[in-house]
């Protein structure tokens, strides 16, 4: 990789929790061990009405073509506004930004092939019109990162491993970089490892089921379990955790594998989690404690089953919103007693912005014509330059 000339890039990310846009202005260096210099970052919460439209669109049959079209435009405006506000806050002219990497908002992710229209199809859908972002900012935009990998037989996820390798690989320790967003995913970095040595996959639910329970238990007053206060007041049901693990096929699948709201979203909470909790008498804060334990347990189980060489002495580096949840972090440490469990903050990488930074890195790779996927992680047949490029407008409209 040519790491000598840095790329000034913006990464934009709205994850499976759909709570808002994370934006990071990054001076990207495409060289292992080179720190990605984050010049500015901001979190822009989605307006309640927009978030409600996103959640509705993610449900099977939940949105018609007209609603999806409007949502594509509304999210494009929201991503553009985040980029503009980010540069204004940093005092950096948009004209200096070489590329914006916009992950978009995932509405549906179908990594396993299905028969449809006479073809065998797999695919993914992220909304947030890149043409609107390019028109508003004047910047070249890279979007639709996952499709190129899926066209080569990959899962289209996880895509952050190459950014993790660039920023967090080490010569002295094996590291499991554990992102805990709506969905949880791990990147396994062996000490002195090359890109081809990376193992990465989704471990299962992160905050998604916990958030659903928090909303129900608080009658909609809270969108999440802030600081894990509800879970810390409850007692986890071992019977419920064990049943959910045993009866969820995803946990038994070998990597490469990826998942999303389709498997661990509102429908699963309503149709699987709630009936089980009622049958076992697990209610209120005990349900929060149980689902928090489920996330921690399935992460630890995945390490033991699927990470080659994982064991005592490995370092677990948590990031994403879950790294800010003391109850979840405590349970993760309890399930991984032989390991050092820390957060990416301790290593100089903002835990809440790591994915936004990753998409700035991926956009820089695309701008340079370099592959951004890791076939050992996604299952693609070969490395691929990711994304679709929308050229920047000569005269931004904002």
The CATH number of the domain holding residue 126 is: 3.30.420.40
Structural domain total, the chain: 2
Whether residue 396 is contained in a domain is answered as no
Residue 68 sits in the same domain as residue 148: yes
Residue 299 sits in the same domain as residue 224: yes
Q: In sequence order, what are the residues at sequence separation of 6 or more whose Cβ sits closer than 8 angstroms to the Cβ of residue 344?
A: 168, 177, 317, 318, 319, 323, 350, 351, 354
pLDDT at position 172 is: 93
pLDDT at position 35 is: 79
pLDDT at position 180 is: 96
What's this model's pTM, rounded to 2 decimal places? 0.92
Distance (Å, whole) CA 45 – CA 225: 17
Whether residue 369 is contained in a domain is answered as yes
pLDDT at position 17 is: 85
Give the pLDDT confidence of 122-154 residue by residue, as tens digits.
999 999 999 999 999 999 999 999 999 999 999
Residue 310 sits in the same domain as residue 386: no
pLDDT at position 63 is: 87
Residue 198 sits in the same domain as residue 339: yes
Whether residue 2 is contained in a domain is answered as no
Whether residue 306 is contained in a domain is answered as yes
Residue 296 sits in the same domain as residue 216: yes
With a cut of 50, list the residues of the chain below it in pLDDT.
Answer: none
Phi-psi region of 381 (alpha: psi -120 to 50; beta: other; left: phi over 0): alpha
Whether residue 395 is contained in a domain is answered as no
Residue 153 sits in the same domain as residue 167: no
pLDDT at position 141 is: 98
Residue 25 sits in the same domain as residue 149: yes
Residue 259 sits in the same domain as residue 328: yes
Residues in the chain: 398
Whether residue 198 is contained in a domain is answered as yes
Residue 19 sits in the same domain as residue 76: yes
- The burial class, CB within 10 Å (0-12 / 13-18 / 19+), for 348 is exposed
- State which residues form the domain around 209: 161-347
Residue 342 sits in the same domain as residue 361: no
pLDDT at position 33 is: 77
Residue 201 sits in the same domain as residue 325: yes
Whether residue 1 is contained in a domain is answered as no
Residue 52 sits in the same domain as residue 37: yes
pLDDT at position 1 is: 53
């Amino acid at each position: 990789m040519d790491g000598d000339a840095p790329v000034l890039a913006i990464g934009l990310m709205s994850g499976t929790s759909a709570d808002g846009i994370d934006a990071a202005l990054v001076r990207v260096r495409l060289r292992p061990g080179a720190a990605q210099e984050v010049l500015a970052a901001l979190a822009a919460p989605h307006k309640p009405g927009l978030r409600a439209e996103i959640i509705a669109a993610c449900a099977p049959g939940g949105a018609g073509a007209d609603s999806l079209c409007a949502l594509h435009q509304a999210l494009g405006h929201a991503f553009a506004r985040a980029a503009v506000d980010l540069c204004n806050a940093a005092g950096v002219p948009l004209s200096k930004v070489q590329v914006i990497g916009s992950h978009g908002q995932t509405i549906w992710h179908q990594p396993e092939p299905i028969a449809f229209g006479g073809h065998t199809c797999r695919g993914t859908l992220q909304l947030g019109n890149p043409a609107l972002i390019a028109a508003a900012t004047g910047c070249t935009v890279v979007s639709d990162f996952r499709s190129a990998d899926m066209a080569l037989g990959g899962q289209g996820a996880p895509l952050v491993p190459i950014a993790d390798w660039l920023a967090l690989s080490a010569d002295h320790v094996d590291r499991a970089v554990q992102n805990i967003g709506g969905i949880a995913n791990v990147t396994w970095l062996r000490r002195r490892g090359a890109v081809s040595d990376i193992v990465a996959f989704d471990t299962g639910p992160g905050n998604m089921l916990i958030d659903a329970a928090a909303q129900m238990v608080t009658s909609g007053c809270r969108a999440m379990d802030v600081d894990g206060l509800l879970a810390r007041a409850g007692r986890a049901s071992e019977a419920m955790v064990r049943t959910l693990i045993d009866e969820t096929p995803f946990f038994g699948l070998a990597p490469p594998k990826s998942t999303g709201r389709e498997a661990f979203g509102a429908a699963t909470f309503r149709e699987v989690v709630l009936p089980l909790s009622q049958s076992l008498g697990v209610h209120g804060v005990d349900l929060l404690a149980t689902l928090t334990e489920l996330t921690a347990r399935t992460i630890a189980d995945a390490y033991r089953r699927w990470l080659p060489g994982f064991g005592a002495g490995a370092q677990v580096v948590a990031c994403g919103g879950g790294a800010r949840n003391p109850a979840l972090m405590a349970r993760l440490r309890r399930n991984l007693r032989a390991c050092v469990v820390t957060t990416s903050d301790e290593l100089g990488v903002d835990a809440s912005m790591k994915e936004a930074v990753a998409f700035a890195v991926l956009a820089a790779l695309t701008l340079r014509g370099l592959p951004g996927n890791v076939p050992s992680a996604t299952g693609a047949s070969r490395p691929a330059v990711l994304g679709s490029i929308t050229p920047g407008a000569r005269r931004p409209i904002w």
